[in-house]
Amino acid sequence: MKPYKKHRMGRRGESGKRERPEVDHSLVADSNVLKHFASYATELDLKHDKYERIVKFSRDITIESKRIIFFLHSADKENSKHDLLKDADIRLRQLENTLFKSVGEELNGEDPYQFLRAYTSGLQEFVEACTFYQYLKFKKLEGWNCLQQTLKFNIDENSKEGCVNETSAKTCSVLMPPSEYVLGVADLTGELMRNCINCLGSGQFESCMETCAFVKEIYNGFLSVGNSGPKEFSRKLFTLKQSLHKMENACYTICVRGSEIPQNRLVDVLQDASEVFEEDEGFY
């Protein structure tokens, strides 16, 4: 036999139904619950402020990287190319030691993947500028790990306020996932296409052929990845194919109709022909 349970009897309202007993939901001002929520709010505010600071650094990185790329496009003569590449290398190192170092100090003691979207655009633009410089100087690209090593910095132990494990933090780094490097290389092909067309204007036909063959190798490498890449991979692969098509059309025009077209009109003819992009039955 079940033991008798005494039920709390609520008072009856005007309708005659029993009302639930009133419960005091008010919290004491110094309760532990409010203290925890106050600490959570402070932590979120600090992370949001840090995220916005990293976004601002990323914008500055994007702007400076675009300026370096534009600067590299002016390397059209061999006699001035050496000095130009030297100046571009200095600007890239300054970009690493100023803006990227500031991003690394912000990421010190944090999970970098939480803030990756804040600086992904600047990171991809920086990869594009570095790889464009590497191609113009060495005619090849260094690996992802080489660029990652350049984004590691030494910092002062007491220079960062509010840093976690401040006494043990002697170095900081900016995370560069391989996927971001691949997307930056995809953007590089657009600059190589422009460089190829510019070489035609100065009569550097062999350089145009060499650049086209290099982009073909990149395209074949991207095809081997398939649809397993990041979200933006398919869109950038389609743009890569368009750039390669324009370069192949330029090389075809040089080989077949180069003797028929004056050199001062060759670039205009290629630009008019590249406006019509025909789809083929190949892979994207």
125 assigned to a ligand binding site: no
- Nearest CA to 247 out of 283, 201, 218, 216 is that of 216
128 assigned to a ligand binding site: yes
Instruction: Please name the residue ranges forming H helices in the chain.
Output: 32-72, 78-95, 101-107, 116-138, 144-150, 178-201, 205-225, 233-257, 263-274
Residue-wise burial string across 249-281, b where 16 or more C-beta atoms lie within 10 A, e elsewhere: bbbebbeeeeeeeeeeebbebbeeebeeeeeee
Which residues are CB-contacts of 236 (< 8 A; sequence separation ≥ 6)?
Answer: 183, 186, 187
- The three-class DSSP label of residue 152 is strand
Q: Distance between CA atoms of 125 and 147, rounded to whole angstroms? A: 13
Do residues 27 and 35 make contact, with C-beta atoms less than 8 angstroms apart? no
Nearest-Å Rg of the Cα atoms of the chain is: 30
Q: What residue has token string 């600059």?
A: 191
Annotated binding site: 128, 191
Annotated binding site for Mg(2+): 128, 191
